[in-house]
Amino acid sequence: MATEEQIQEKYMHLQLIAQTLRQVQQQLQMLDEQSSELDRMADGLGDLKDSKIGSNLLVPVSEGIFARATLSNSETLLVNVGSNVIVEKTIDETRQLLQDRNAELRLHREELKKQNKELFDAAQVLQDELNNLITQ
């Protein structure tokens, strides 16, 4: 016969797994959003490459805030490569950088999906064990 302590221990373990599952699912959603944003950015670079010198542009300053600008160079971009280091890259190089980042996100997403499945499977086993303890 199962003791109250055993049941509580299994239940607490199940709750911990459920919380971790929610966190992994939130991370998956965040990765999906980041991947979509990188895709939109890469598409936007194609539009920029096709723009003519002197074209009027709206440049995003922050969420929902834009500045008017005139395109003076449609060949290169200034890209923050980390640690506040900015380098000049061609549009094609920048597009490749975005695609590489997106590939890294996809790999991380696959790792999280695997972790999510393992946690779900562990939760199922634990739930079965808990049900068996309760019905004894």
Spans of all domains in the chain: 4-135
Give the pLDDT confidence of 4-53 residue by residue, as tens digits: 888 899 899 999 999 999 999 999 999 999 999 999 999 888 888 888 99
Q: What's the pLDDT at 1?
A: 58
Cα separation, 89 vs 9, whole angstroms: 56
pLDDT of residue 26: 97
Task: State residue 3's pLDDT score.
Answer: 83
Q: What is the pLDDT of residues 50-93, one digit of tens each?
A: 889 999 999 889 989 999 999 998 889 999 988 999 999 999 99
pLDDT at 74: 85
Helix/strand/coil for 71: coil
**pLDDT, tens only, 81-135:** 889 999 999 999 999 999 999 999 999 999 999 999 999 999 999 999 988 888 8
- CATH number 1.10.10.10 is the correct assignment for the domain at 4-135: no
- Letter for the amino acid at 112? L
Chain CA centroid to CA 34, Å: 5
